[in-house]
Amino acid sequence: MREGDGEIDAAARGALPTLVEQADVLGAVHAHTTDSDGTATLAEMAAAAKAMGWSLLGIADHSAVAAYAHGLDAERLRAQGVEIAAHNANGGTPLLLRGLEADILSDGTLDLPEDVPLDFVVASVHSSFRQGVDAQTSRLVRAVSRGRGTILGHPTGRLLLAREGYAVDMEAVLQAAAKSGAAVEINAHPFRLDLDWRWVRRAVALGVPLSIGPDAHEPAGLADVRWGIGIARKGWAAAKDVLNTKPWPWWS
């Protein structure tokens, strides 16, 4: 928080927030398995989350349009849902949540199969990075306007030291999320750290729920949540601002 952006005055008033800590985190969503482009099975990812002491893990393999990542069509997604339901019914720990990392298509619609029950959707851009700022903003606004149960994944698409984020009016996107009840991810992968901490602070001010997601493609990747916690703290986020500090369900 040492950025000369009001923290001294806030401290003088006794108004600094109690920042989120790793001990507050009960689990995370946005984990991939061998069903798409992960390197570990669903059972192996669940075991890794259990070893970390987590009580929940959200599986979010890629959607069908991401053919390069062996994305799931409706049939394969249903089959994965059956496996998740069996794990939970048998008292498996942690609780597994049924999700999907659904591509945000160029017009802002989501690559979601019909009639497949999901607990959450991570909506992410993986293509058409060069759209103009107005088109890209409209695209993301439409995606987050889907509302509760939707988490905007790696919101600017940046890859640190490799790719700048796409041109987008993030203020407009956060305003739309605040209105709809959608959440925004702090992607904790060390090559992303996206949402940037400056926008984290704005999201907190607007009351936009945050999800610290590891974007894990292997068991060790779950531990990357710690980097997302650092970004959340730098953005003045308290535990109450972060979905994965709360017991499931997050949306009623």
Summarize the confidence of residues 50-77 as an average pLDDT: 97
Q: What is the pLDDT of residues 81-127, one digit of tens each?
A: 999 999 999 999 999 999 999 999 999 999 999 899 999 999 999 99
Are the CB atoms for 110 and 103 separated by under 8 Å?
A: yes
Residue 252 has pLDDT above 90, yes or no: no
Which residues fall within 8 angstroms of residue 252, CB to CB, at 6 or more apart?
none
Summarize the confidence of residues 173-189 as an average pLDDT: 98
pLDDT confidence tier of residue 15, bands split at 50, 70 and 90 = very high
